[in-house]
Structure 1
């Protein structure tokens, strides 16, 4: 019976994850490009052939193919067929622009309607893995938390991004000796980071509920007395004052490394006590080379601008150390893209952990993977201009 003759159900099953969905034929039909469905029907009428697909990206990436391959193998089993996967770049390997990450061979009838869906599982992961690798390599002594789930367009994307961050992190550990990603925000994808569950202590909503930063810390300590505590200090625009207040209230936590301060200051204002002149002064005291020489506007903003800048991190470290709280860690979040991480690294900012969802590319078009058939029944054939995809 033709696949599209299977009885359709009421709609697609959205209770899925990236490596498993979709597996029902009606869902594959619903979510693939229609011209592939027409091609499949034509192949059914005029005769099947063996086809070889080349899957590639138009920009350099880190290979992160596992979810795409797992899905292809799952569909092959369900359809009672076999796909041969020639992976040219193992997981975690650097891939140049235009280089086929893998070749997939099999019956055209069973492959042609899978192109749309397999590309969705390949392109975004490879780009996100590249960005995660870059960030971890630029800040090798800093631990990263993947806090991207709230920025993702659904649970499938959240899994793709978590997997990608773990791949980029592993490469950074191998190549740069980096700490890399130490965890993420949700239980569902925690296994990608080798942890039992998500990490995190308090959002802004908890500070607002408590009514003050100190009261939020006291409430958290009462409910989770044995867990490390990271206190968010930007809610009332009193980053310096509230940081010191919390440290003085919990001297034992501060002394034994069980307390961290998280800066998440919005880009619309400076951290308490800072402005442009004082931000320059902070860096001049600690890392004068960071602000000497040419910097473009974006780079300067990360160094001495509003929000969680390098100057803000240095300022908080100065204040904590001067008050005897040298073991209190600093966590930074808010806009930690690869570019910002590079600037934070150049300023040698004393940050312990970065919480980021911004390793997702700012231009989503960069995540587009592409596939072309390069062989039909063993005969090399590809559209003009794509000859570089032919197997050598």
Structure 2
């Protein structure tokens, strides 16, 4: 089965010279290269990279771009790799590099870090997407980490199945743009009037942009949803419930007693859905956000809560998905000492064992 083409290395905007000189690399890798070059010793090695957890791979195209653009001699390297989005097992080799070690020694810090970061985001996103299925998931964690990670994180989430991301940077690697809703800040800018803020959005924004309004500004999601729906009619695509985990919505107060009432609860969603349906606004979708995890989404789906879309944020940055590498000599002699660097014979009988290559190179491809 044909695989999706890899991303072009130029899309990553890598600081090539800085990376090549070792500015972002662990110092011992930099010194290792310096020593080998001074000794004119060029041992050919096999570097095999693997993760330590069951996961969905991310960052592999970026890792290959680092090798291609930042290694000293890319033509001397042979690289095989799995693909972004591939499901991987603990200790399964995801990236195999063969060639003279001095050509790529300082890059290990970089490609391991890229794989760890993007795999974490992609795996966490895939898990919430699977928990929410067939409901859609929007990727909303941009505010919970440094802005420089947005581009790759957004792509990892996209590969994992998120239908939208919140910033243009997150969508840039596949040529899209961010999505969003009428925010609390805009409502506050119009004196706390959710209807007025939503009307201004409808009047002054691109008609092609979905109008989704946050309805918890007054802590009365039912009342606000109805007011906005009455004012905007079919222009309103959906309402978003984002009630603070420290507050109890007005509509939930009379129903308290048998469940945790704070935040976005199943009861609150049902209250909004029933109120909208009663007045004929069945077309208005319900988006929920605020503290959603795999477990909370799974619970909502098992209870049949009438959510149409989930917005998920900080939980997508949790967990550890470490990668490491083992290096073995392909030939004792080095290129500088008259030995030719050749591609070693690699066992492919057990791809779940550290030190073996991707099990199906015809399917999982060479770069």
What TM-score do you get using the length of structure 1 for normalisation? 0.76
1:108 Cα deviation from its structure 2 partner: 0.7
Counterpart selection for 2:168 from 187, 207, 224: 187
CA distance in 2: counterparts of 1:202 and 1:49, whole angstroms: 59
* Paired positions, count: 328
Residue deviations 1:133-184 (CA, integer Å, cap 9, x gap): 22111211212222222222232x1122111112211xxxxxxxxxxx2221
Distance 1:26-1:358 versus aligned 2 partners, 3 A rule = closer
Distance 1:101-1:225 versus aligned 2 partners, 3 A rule = closer
Residue deviations 1:208-256 (CA, integer Å, cap 9, x gap): 1011111211211221272431111112212111111111112243xxx
CA distance in 1: counterparts of 2:266 and 2:307, whole angstroms: 9
Q: Is the 8 A contact 1:128 1:359 kept in 2?
A: no
Counterpart selection for 2:179 from 199, 224, 227: 199
Q: Is the 8 A contact 1:230 1:260 kept in 2?
A: yes
Partner of 1:368: 322
Counterpart selection for 2:97 from 98, 104, 107: 104
SS in 1 for 2:240: strand
Partner of 1:318: 274
Residue 107 of structure 2 is aligned to residue 114 of structure 1: yes
CA distance in 2: counterparts of 1:86 and 1:196, whole angstroms: 29
Q: Is the 8 A contact 2:152 2:170 kept in 1?
A: no
Residue 69 of structure 2 is aligned to residue 74 of structure 1: yes
CA distance in 2: counterparts of 1:225 and 1:75, whole angstroms: 42
Off by >6 Å, runs of 4+ in structure 1: none
Counterpart selection for 1:83 from 77, 82, 88: 77
Pairing 1:289-328 to 2, within 5 Å after superposition = 304-328=260-284
Tell which has more relative contact order, 1 or 2 (C-alpha 8 A, sep 6+). Answer: 2
CA distance in 2: counterparts of 1:359 and 1:164, whole angstroms: 15
Where structure 2 has 5 or more consecutive residues not aligned to the other structure, the ranges are: 1-8, 332-342, 346-351, 358-367
Q: Is the 8 A contact 2:19 2:25 kept in 1?
A: no
CA distance in 2: counterparts of 1:342 and 1:113, whole angstroms: 43
What TM-score do you get using the length of structure 2 for normalisation? 0.81
Residue deviations 1:244-278 (CA, integer Å, cap 9, x gap): 1111112243xxxx431111111111222214954
Residue 243 of structure 2 is aligned to residue 250 of structure 1: no
1:368 Cα deviation from its structure 2 partner: 2.4
Counterpart selection for 1:270 from 248, 252, 261: 248
CA distance in 2: counterparts of 1:152 and 1:28, whole angstroms: 27
Q: Is the 8 A contact 2:25 2:109 kept in 1?
A: yes
- Which range moved further: 196-205 or 324-333? 196-205
CA distance in 2: counterparts of 1:45 and 1:389, whole angstroms: 32
Where structure 1 has 5 or more consecutive residues not aligned to the other structure, the ranges are: 1-15, 170-180, 281-299, 381-386
Partner of 2:210: 228
Q: Is the 8 A contact 1:84 1:106 kept in 2?
A: yes
